[in-house]
Amino acid sequence: MATVQRNKESNDMTYETILYEVRDGLAEIRLNRPHRLNAVVQTLYDELNAALDRAAADRAVRVVLLTGEGRAFCVGADLKEHKAGRTAFERRQYLRGEQVVCKRILQHDKPVVAAVNGYALGAGAELAIASDFIVMAESARIGLPEIGIGSFLGGGVTLLLPRLVGLAKARELIFTGERIDGAEAVRIGLANRVFSDAGFLDEARTFAQRIASGAPLSMQLAKEQLNVAAEGTLDAALTAELEGMMFCSTSKDWQEGVDAFAEKRAPLFKGE
C-alpha cells in the first residue's frame, strides 16, 4: 500500500504555490497556480527550490517527479506580475530565481522526472529541459517563445537543448518558438516517453518508479558523470568511471545487487 505524506507533516511545512507529497520513493512536486496555468512568480521559484532541498534530504525519496496541477505544466513567467516600477535589481533577482532552480534540478542528488501534462512554455520548458527525464501527455505542448516576445532564454537551455536535440534543431526550436507535441519531442530526443492523456499521471509515476528501483548511490554518480562528461575528455570520463565503480563496489547496495542476481530476485537497495 502506498505511503503518502502530504503537505502538512511533522515540521508543519506548507506552501502557497506548490503541492508536495512522498509516495513509494517518489517526491511528487506539483506546481499549484492552476488559475494562471502555473505561470511562475518569485514565490514559486523559492518554494520549488525549498521542496527540491527537502527531497534531497529525505532518504525515503529516490526520484523527484515534477508536474503541474490543472491543465498545464507551466506556461512560463506570469506577465501580470511584471509590474512597471520594479527596479533593475528586483528584475534581476526574479530572473535569477529560474537560474537557481534549474541548476538545482540539474545538480540534484536524485533523478528528476518532468511530467509535462499540458503547456510547458518558456520557463516551464526550461524547468523540464533541466530535468533528467521528460515524459509528456499526448495533448501536451512544449516550446520556447522568448525570442518572439523580445525576451531571452534561461535555465541553461542554450547549453542543454543542443545536447539533447543537436545544434540545428535547437536553433530551429529557439528561433521559431514552435510548440511541439509529445510524439515529436520523443522523435527528436527531447522527451523520453509520450503517454495518453487518460491516466497520464499514473503512467508518469510508473515510469518514475522504474527509475527509482535502481541503486541510489549508483544513480547519483551516473547523473553527475553524465552531466559533466560532455565538457571533458575521454581520459577524464574513464577516471571518473573507475572511481565510481570502486566506490560502488564498497557499498552494501553492491553486495545486495550481487546477492539478488544469484538468488534470482529483485534487489532491495537502501542507499548504503
Domain boundaries, the chain: 4-212, 216-263
Is 146 an annotated catalytic residue? yes
In this model, does residue 181 exceed pLDDT 60?
yes
**Closest to 95 in 3D by CA, of 41, 148, 159:** 41
In this model, does residue 193 exceed pLDDT 50?
yes
Model pLDDT, residue 9: 43
| Cell numbers placing 113 | 522526472
4-212 homologous superfamily: 2-enoyl-CoA Hydratase; Chain A, domain 1 (3.90.226.10)
In this model, does residue 208 exceed pLDDT 50?
yes
In this model, does residue 40 exceed pLDDT 50?
yes
Model pLDDT, residue 85: 64
In this model, does residue 4 exceed pLDDT 50?
no
Neighbours of 234 (CB within 10 A): 8
3-state secondary structure the chain: CCCEECCCCCCCCCCCCEEEEEECCEEEEEECCHHHCCCECHHHHHHHHHHHHHHHHCCCCCEEEEEECCCEEECCECHHHCCCCCCHHHHHHHHHHHHHHHHHHHCCCCCEEEEECCEEECHHHHHHHHCCEEEEECCCEEECCHHHHCCCCCCCHHHHHHHHHCHHHHHHHHHHCCCEEHHHHHHCCCCCEEECCCCHHHHHHHHHHHHHCCCHHHHHHHHHHHHHHCCCCHHHHHHHHHHHHHHHHCCHHHHHHHHHHHHCCCCCCCCC
Is 263 an annotated catalytic residue? no
Mean pLDDT of 104-124: 97
User: Taking all residues of the chain, what is their mean pLDDT, rounded to a whole number?
Assistant: 89
Angular region, 233: left φ>0, alpha ψ -120 to 50, beta rest: beta
Options 146, 203, 231, 256, the catalytic residue: 146
Q: Phi first, then psi: give them for residue 260, nearest 5 degrees.
A: -65, -40
Confidence of residue 84 (pLDDT cuts 50, 70, 90): low
Model pLDDT, residue 1: 36
pTM of the model: 0.87
Q: What is the pLDDT of residues 11-25, one digit of tens each?
A: 447 899 999 999 999
> Is the C-alpha dihedral spanning 246, 230, 227, 92 positive or negative?
positive
At residue 116, what is the residue type?
V
Options 28, 47, 98, 126, the catalytic residue: 126
